[in-house]
Chain A
Amino acid sequence: MPDTATHIPLIALAGNPNAGKTTLFNALTGLSQKVANYPGVTVERKEGSWTVGDKLARLIDLPGLYSLDATSIDEHIASDVLRGDVSGLPTPDVVIAVVDATNLERNLYLVTQLFEYNVPVVVALTMIDVFEKQQHEIDIDKLSASLGVPVIAVNASVGRGSEELSEAVSKLVSSPSTPKFTLSGDSESGRIFARYNFISNAVQESVVHNDQAAHGISEKIDRILTHKFFGLLILIGILLLVFQTIFTWASVPMDLLEQGFGALGDAVRSGLPEGILSDLVVDGIIAGVGGVLVFLPQILLLFLFISILEDTGYMARAAFLMDKLMSRVGLHGKAFLPLMSSFACAIPGIMATRTIENQRDRFATIMIAPFMSCSARLPVYTLMIAAFFAGQTVLGFISLGAVLMLAMYALGIVVALIVAFILKRTALKSPPPPFIMELPPYRMPNLRTVLQNMLTRAWLFVKRAGTVILAISIILWALMYFPRTEVTPVPAEQATAVSPEGEHLRNSYAGRLGHVIEPVIQPLGFDWKIGVALIASFAAREVLVSTLSIIYNVGKDETEESPTLISAIREAKDERGETVWTPLTALTLMVFFVLAMQCMSTVAVVRRETNSWSWTLFMVGYMTGLAYLAAFLTYQGGRLLGFS
């Protein structure tokens, strides 16, 4: 028996997905939450503190589960926690089983399994308001008597029941008593059957169902939302709305952030003495990390939409609608929305794959998510189209730029599907994943849960990707900064349009690296200057635009629509005085950017989400390889067809 005066009780929260566990956890712990991963896996470990009786307890939120039979990683972790097998976590003093009153029988299944772990159990009955609105009746005392554990009705959003819950838990902490439950049945199916028998009896004694309300409002909504025709139409409509909102709403804070980082850079530069330190901080750290953080509003909005879609119950419907199509390439229906999110940014998409239980399916989805043309590719496409394809039409009226843009999106999707198909038959070979998924009742999203979800995920991204982004930013900066050679004054007759910045970049390690890789990229029609831009844009794709600006001596603050930059690109000559850029080069570069893994933030997130450097490096490697191959075929094929 631990010393009661110093012992900090550990309370675990267990329950089915969609049972209202997160809402209850948020209500009990408030802002005291900490989110981490369980050691070695990407299962989230959420912990907070909660006042039980008169002392502070640790409250730990287990992943949402249907069962404790350890078939998925989530179930494995949960049963380890309950047994006290996770390092740094003692065996829980009490388990709060969160049970959805509107879905009592299936929710109680997990509770009967908890009974076998020899820990005190308290049942927290959620959704009781919805249940009563449907005019069902429940006798909580009888239910408690049949189950043999305390049952407390809670409504986290209005604070109902939290005191009673704390009291019941506190009582069990000071004098633990475990439920008496013996299970008959010698086979596995026999035991499952026996548990459900026990549940049916307990429910029959305590609940009067109103059969009239059984079909419920969710089924009526689903007549439209999962309708064979309108369901798909609405899904497309929702996606369009999400993208439209992201691109319009996010642009204002993104511009502000960009200006903010610019101003911060200027302020730091004027505060620090001139030299390497000031250059490192301003051009390396602030510009590098700022270039990624500029995308934060967009990432936040995307997280917001994903949270809303999850919280309302629509996410499961989208998976239901799209599963057949996704299964053709061996993916799960749940992969659809993460992949769609990746059209705005792969980072939230990759983080949203956590809902896919099967690890191989999840990895396959992560591996193809960056092929979806994200918003950072748009400046690259825009620059190339503006420089070489502006004002041209196909069939007399369709803008060539629009056709090319569409073709780039389509190329990404097609390659993603082919790669998924191949991966699922080779490295990630597994039998077709089972699709056994609850379609939870529709609910109004809980504002607090949604916001908390959004902020937690965004913070996780910043925190986890931060170190990698910082490191890569500094490395890329150093490549472009060193060595510091004194730029020799150029004779006046040669001094046309050569800026010291451009001269310096050409002499830097990155510039030399550009020369080193030139023979490799020459078959793509790229010269060493484009090579330098490719190296620099590993930080983030849109960095290509500013790097080209520097290298073509038009200053680093040009945008993708800048006329000076466009004409500099068009007129660029190589050492032999030949034109570097042709429409074919531009198209080749676009194709390269569709497929190449030019984004350090994605690399960082993939490392975190797969927990494996080999998968991460594999991804960088195969994407770069594919990009090279496709660009090669485009350029050489184009030349064979007589384009230049």
Chain B
Amino acid sequence: MRLPEVEIGSSASVVTVHGQGAVPRRLMEMGLVPGVTVRVVKSAPFGDPIEIRLRGYSLALRINEAEAVEVAV
């Protein structure tokens, strides 16, 4: 499944980041590499972006970008 499908408050483990170019690379550089656990904390008032927590810090990203992240619960 993809990261935006993870329920708010739940955790998942990153399987891979799909795609090529600057956005997937930035996601990986921010620590979204295979095996890392992420928790979806909340979504912003208008439903987008979402806040996730990984490696002890909080990251905000748009649903559009989060779609590139394949996760397993």
Contacts of A439 in B (CB 8 A): 51, 57-60
Q: How many residues of B contact A (CB 8 A)?
A: 34
A526 contacts the other chain (Cβ, under 8 Å)? no
Are the C-beta atoms of A438 and B33 separated by less than 8 Å?
Answer: no
Are the C-beta atoms of B33 and A192 separated by less than 8 Å?
Answer: yes
Q: Is the interface of A mostly helix, strand, loop or mixed?
A: helix
> At the interface with chain B, which of A323-331, A368-376, A552-560?
A323-331
Closest Cβ–Cβ distance, residue A136 to chain B (whole Å): 9
Contacts of B58 in A (CB 8 A): 218-219, 222, 438-441
CB contact list, B15-70 vs A, under 8 A:
17, 22-31, 33-34, 36, 41-42, 44-49, 51, 53, 55-62, 64-65
Closest Cβ–Cβ distance, residue B19 to chain A (whole Å): 10
Closest Cβ–Cβ distance, residue B58 to chain A (whole Å): 4
Are the C-beta atoms of A192 and B29 separated by less than 8 Å?
Answer: yes
Question: Bound state CA distance, A550 and B48, in angstroms?
Answer: 54
Which of A102, A209, A227, A436 interacts with B61 by CB under 8 Å?
A: A436
Other than A192-B25, A324-B45, A436-B27, give 18 A-B pairs with Cβ distance below 8 A. A105-B31, A188-B25, A189-B25, A209-B56, A214-B56, A222-B51, A222-B58, A226-B51, A228-B44, A323-B60, A434-B26, A434-B65, A436-B30, A436-B61, A436-B65, A438-B30, A439-B59, A440-B57
Q: Nearest CB to that of B52 among chain A residues?
A: A439
Which of A69, A189, A226, A438 interacts with B59 by CB under 8 Å?
A: A438
Give the contact-size bracket for chain A: 35 or more
Query: What is B's interface to A at a CB cutoff of 8 Å?
Result: 17, 22-31, 33-34, 36, 41-42, 44-49, 51, 53, 55-62, 64-65
Query: What is A's interface to B at a CB cutoff of 8 Å?
Result: 66-67, 69, 71, 102-106, 109, 188-189, 192-193, 196, 209, 214, 218-219, 222, 226-229, 231-232, 316, 319-321, 323-325, 327, 333, 432, 434-441
Contacts of B31 in A (CB 8 A): 105-106, 109, 196
Q: Nearest CB to that of A71 among chain B residues?
A: B22
Are the C-beta atoms of A189 and B57 separated by less than 8 Å?
Answer: no
Are the C-beta atoms of B33 and A193 separated by less than 8 Å?
Answer: yes
Contacts of A432 in B (CB 8 A): 64
Closest Cβ–Cβ distance, residue B65 to chain A (whole Å): 6
User: Knowing A316-B60, A434-B23, A437-B59 touch, does A106 contact B41 (C-beta < 8 A)?
Assistant: no
